[in-house]
Chain A
Amino acid sequence: MSALAWLLPAVPIATGVLLLTGRFTLGRRTDKAAPAIAVTAAFVALGLAIAAAVARPVVTFPLFGRLPAGLAVDGLSAALVLTVTSVSLAILVFSAGEFSPDESRTRFFGLMLVFTGAMLVTVTATDLVVLLMGWEVMGAMSYALIGFWWRDPRRVGSGDVSFITTRAGDLGLYFAAGAALAGTGSLDLGGLAAADGHWRNLIAAGVVLAALGKSAQLPFSFWLSRAMDGPSPVSALLHSATMVAAGAYLLLRLEPLLAATGWAATLVAWLGALTALLLGAVALAQRDVKQLLAASTCAQIGFMVLGAGAGSVAGGIAQLVAHAAVKSLLFLGAGAWLTALGTKDLTELHGAARRYRLVGVTFGVGMLALAGVPPLSLWATKDHVLSAALEVSPALYAVGLAAALLSAGYAARAIIAVTRPVDAATRVDTEQTGTRHVSLLERVPLPALAAGSAVLGIFALTPVYKAWKDLLGTGPEPSPGPAEMAVSGALALLVLAAAWTLMRHGRRVGAAWTAPALRWFYLERLAELLVARPVFALAKALARFDDRVIDGGVRATAATGQSAAALAGRGVEIRVDGLVNAVGRGARRLADLARRPQTGQVHTYYAQATVLFAVLIIIVLLVR
């Protein structure tokens, strides 16, 4: 039984790693088989997920000392693993059709599988270490996938921005792990809410930071805009069931911890609501369909985060599942058009839905769901979250409702753009040369995802929602009444109609008003100016300091030693040596003097003896 908990993430990860290893040992020959292998692995993973959702396997293993670590599939994880594996299968099938044979397919599919597997580790982990392992590997894979076309420095830079920004958030989890050890003596996720005293606050702070970074909530939202530089299937996966969803999942999983601290729940609820509102505005201002979808992801994830803060775990997870279906569908649609028509500019996509009907219809379904039109999925799930927000505070509810109306607004923009007939100003191939063709494999997943996006509206039905709550094992949560749901549905339709009328009449809002929203409120620029550049300047300054002052000090010490030696050599040594020499010279001179009498001639010796004798006599006479 426990083998299932291992196999579920292991199958995609091992297959992915094998593909990547094959790419670097066997070369590009593997590219032909890679899509089939990857789709098979994803299919097996889906099967394993279904089995795991039924069997609920649990496995624990020792990792660090006596700290338990483990993988388990409970109700919450079951919902997630099913979502992750099915969305990933759909996206890999699409990719098999989209990626042309001359691309480095093995690398792509290998990375996508590891990416999926890492998300599966994250959502089944029972403790902070294993969770963090999946969490960070997922970040690294998204780096490699965003920068997939690595020859383009802009795309590589986007990968850099994404990884650094999300890792800045990840530091929170490292910190939370330490605080958890101090506060609970364990890293178990279930025990965090019971941590004592200020440790609980520190854990919550770390967790919230990590989740906000990963889920691209304010103020980290900008990285998701840059993440659009990756291939469309990457965006589809990254924005739906993995990566950004992980942050929301973590907050929903640790909702008891947030609630226990009090402040964390309030903070998270408000940040989620504000992100939903502000990034909704950003989405409304975009001219590029992928950027619109990216901003809308931040906004929709905002509802999940709001759900975690307001105590609506079942609502938040429902929103997560529904959004995964909707957003993967929309990105695949946008990706299909980008491949076929070579553009993702909203004004150049006129007529796209008419040219490729299936893509158009499914894209339309996804957009209507995003708009919150009844009886589609996001209409129901969002209202569950909003009713929980209403319980917390009316102001929170008002912000959330406004955000929901904005989503109807940007959805309307996108629908109108792609359905309006081609006009004289419409150009294709603004980004790349289109293939003018949507392949069968690209089309296959779209109806399935569209069906999911629509059918999940059954969350609106009370018995279904109750069964859902039982499945997740969450406590009592407020549910919206029929009146609330009717009003929100009507409002969404009203906004759609208003937008339709406005756009039909060609009304445009002044560029000056939309500029900040178009540029994502300059968040990336701010992060660069306030953090990235100062840190790099500090690094440069410290490097100079290291060369000049610290190493300079060492060099100066060495130089001092050398000059001391020189001084000793010239000053002291010469004097000492001179003294020695002087003694020597004196001795030699004396010796010279002493040699002089030694002539070898007898008469001089007589003379010397006579003189010496005389001197002796004089001395004797004097002394006596």
Chain B
Amino acid sequence: MLSLVIFLPLAVAVGLYAVPRLSDRVVAWSWIVACAVDFALVIAMWIGHGTGDGISYEANVRWIPSVRAGYHIGVDGLSLPLLALTSLLFLACAIYSLRQERQVRAFAALFLFLQTVSLGLFAALDLLLFFVFFDLSIVGMYFVIAGWGHGDRMRSALKFFLYTFLGSLVLLLGFIGLYLGAEPHTFDMVELTRTPPLAGSAGLGGLVLLAIGIGLAIKTPTVPFHTWLPPAHTDAPAAGSAILAGILLKMGTYGFIRIAMPMLPDAWRRYAWVIIIVGLISVLYGALVAFAQEDLKRLIAYTSVNHMGYIIVALGAAGAVGDQAARQLAVTGAVTQMVSHGLITGALFLLAGILYGRARTYDMGRFGGLAGGAPVFSGLVAVGAFASLGLPGFSGFIAEFQIFTGVIGSGGTAIVVVGALAILGILITAALFLRLLHRTVLGPPGELTAQVTDVHRSELGAVAPLLVLSVIIGVAPRFLLDVIEPFSAAVVSLVAR
């Protein structure tokens, strides 16, 4: 079942090429149908998994037995929400791309390939398998930016590729460290989690955490490894940006929770404060730099740095001493934030793409008063902005409130100060999103306002479900939290070992 979910998109991609002379419309619709079926399958898995602890839909096939690496996959309370997010966001991108005109078949195939890679990564229970998917995601996104981007796209794509590829190499180094540290040597995540490697040697454990940490920090990204993100987003096509921010960034934070925390609990606890500080800097620095941006996509990109920062702070706090229940709350908030950020930022990037499609620029200063000619578009932007600034009633609040309360509630004096400073982030994001609304959506019309027509049906169909789901999580979050909470309880006790 799980393998079907993972490889269905790839199979459809191959199918698109196997059948000769397909019209663009057929391609687009078969892409949408494939995504919808995949999404439905994930929902079925969600129902089948229930709210229990542990791994379901597990499969373990021999792959490279000489290094004890297997095709080992499965889902738990961390991967399920991300699998659901992935399949939904790819579906939204497929719907959004109904208006795509250039090389539709290649575009669809590339996205289907990326979907398989992303789903595979979130289901992988083997480090080598994880790494393969991790690297393939970089390759796929490189071609999306280089092939369908705009502006200085080759340069941005190359920067993205080299930077994140470098990160993946460092990550591989860390994985090899884990492999060598385990007795017997293995790449199997379940075994590595059961008996953490390098438990006895603090120095080596620290080095391996450093390698894994840098590798994942580049992908997440945290300050100071974030500068590949703004150009990659600015020059990527809208659907590419949505996937990059919504899914690919999560691979970094996912890796922290899935690999770094449970496999290197000693080192995680020892260096918890480094992680917390890096997260805090990402929160404040990302928000402040976003505040000063003139380019809409760069602004959203920097808010991603801010939002990912909350996750890092929460995960760091889970390694610091403190109340167990509070740290669980923080981890649950971090996982919720991963889903929430994917929905909201995915929607915002698609909206930015609509703006670019009409006016060929992201410069906010050249718009204004869009609410007059494009009320639905403006309404969606406003809803997205308030969702992103963490207004209650949207998923962002559910995530961030849990993070703040969990971090402060865990009790140490220093961590209370960190929590208080991190809260400032939501004030800055409020200011920057109101500035965005003030300059582009409201006020008197600007130079390019006349060119911006309202959303088309397919665009509405892509963006609205993401925001509606964010509202559902914001109002009735239990269906999501019920799945996450057993996992976060487990991970907190694993870190405490």
Contact = CB atoms under 8 A, between A and B. Distances in A.
Interface of A: 24-25, 62-67, 129, 132-137, 140, 143, 147, 150-153, 156-157, 159-160, 163-164, 167-168, 171, 174-175, 177-182, 185, 187, 202, 535-536, 538-540, 542-543, 546, 550-551, 553-554, 558
Contact of A167 (B223, B291, B375, B427): B427
Nearest to B333: A64
Given A133-B393, A135-B392, A182-B323, 7 more contacts: A151-B372, A159-B434, A171-B427, A177-B405, A179-B409, A181-B329, A185-B323
Contact of B438 (A64, A156, A187, A543): A156
24 contacts: A25-B376, A64-B481, A65-B328, A66-B325, A67-B329, A133-B397, A134-B392, A137-B392, A151-B443, A153-B443, A156-B443, A160-B431, A160-B435, A163-B434, A171-B427, A174-B401, A177-B401, A178-B416, A182-B323, A182-B326, A538-B288, A539-B289, A540-B292, A542-B289
Given A133-B392, A153-B444, A175-B420, A182 B227 contact: no
B434 A542 contact: no
B392 A543 contact: no
B192 to A, nearest CB: 28
Contacts of A163: 430, 434
B481 A137 contact: no
A180 B477 CA distance: 22
B205 interface: no
Interface string B376-414: 100100000010000111000100011011111111000
B285 interface: yes
A66 B404 CA distance: 17
B405 A181 contact: yes
Contacts of A181: 323, 326, 329, 405-406, 408-409
B401 A171 contact: no
B391 A536 contact: no
A62 B481 CA distance: 10
B442 A62 contact: no
Contacts of B326: 181-182
Contacts of A150: 369, 371, 441-443
B224 interface: yes
A542 B292 contact: yes
A116 to B, nearest CB: 15
Give the residue among A150, A157, A185, A187 with the most B Cβ atoms within 10 A.
A150
B419 interface: yes
A65 B391 contact: no
B25 interface: no
What 10 A-B pairs have minimum CB-CB distances, sorted nearest first?
A178-B408, A181-B409, A133-B392, A543-B292, A551-B227, A539-B291, A539-B292, A150-B442, A539-B288, A153-B443
A157 B427 contact: no
A171 B402 contact: no
A582 B372 CA distance: 77
Contact of A182 (B401, B410, B428, B444): B410
Contacts of A134: 392
A202 B423 CA distance: 15
A546 B227 contact: yes
Interface in B416-456: 416, 419-420, 423-424, 426-428, 430-431, 434-435, 437-438, 441-444
A136 B404 contact: no
B162 interface: yes
Contacts of B323: 181-182, 185
B7 interface: no
B386 A177 contact: no
A147 B434 CA distance: 11
Contact of A178 (B163, B392, B404, B444): B404
A136 B405 contact: no
A132 B443 contact: no
Give the residue among B226, B285, B325, B423 with the most A Cβ atoms within 10 A.
B423
Nearest to A27: B375
Nearest to B166: A557
B460 to A, nearest CB: 9
Given A151-B444, A171-B427, A65 B485 contact: yes
Interface of B: 159, 162-163, 223-224, 226-228, 285, 288-289, 291-293, 323, 325-326, 328-329, 332, 369, 371-372, 375-376, 379, 386, 391-393, 397, 401-402, 404-411, 416, 419-420, 423-424, 426-428, 430-431, 434-435, 437-438, 441-444, 477-478, 481, 485
A151 B372 CA distance: 9
A383 B328 CA distance: 49
B292 A536 contact: yes
Given A64-B332, A140-B391, A536-B291, A182 B485 contact: no
Contacts of B419: 175, 178
A140 B375 CA distance: 19
Give the residue among A133, A174, A542 with the most B Cβ atoms within 10 A.
A174
Contact of A185 (B325, B404, B416, B420): B325
Contacts of B409: 178-182
A182 B376 contact: no
B163 A554 contact: yes
Contacts of B291: 535-536, 539
Contacts of A133: 392-393, 397
A594 B410 CA distance: 87
A108 to B, nearest CB: 14
A63 to B, nearest CB: 7
A153 B441 CA distance: 11
A476 to B, nearest CB: 35
Contacts of B332: 64-65
Given A185-B325, A539-B288, A24 B375 contact: yes
A65 B227 contact: no
Contacts of B162: 558
Contacts of B392: 132-137
B130 to A, nearest CB: 26
B433 to A, nearest CB: 10
Nearest to A169: B427
Contacts of B397: 133, 136
A129 B402 CA distance: 10
A187 B227 CA distance: 39
B272 to A, nearest CB: 18
B289 A129 contact: no
A269 B438 CA distance: 37
A511 to B, nearest CB: 33
B325 A65 contact: yes
Nearest to B284: A542
Nearest to A199: B411
A151 B375 CA distance: 13
Contacts of B163: 554
Contact of A177 (B289, B375, B404): B404
B458 to A, nearest CB: 16
A94 B372 CA distance: 27
Given A178-B405, A182-B409, A550-B227, A24 B379 contact: yes
A156 B428 contact: no
A182 B408 contact: yes
Contact of B285 (A132, A202, A542, A553): A542
Contacts of A66: 325
Contact of A24 (B329, B376, B437): B376
Contacts of B288: 535, 538-539, 542-543
B289 A174 contact: no
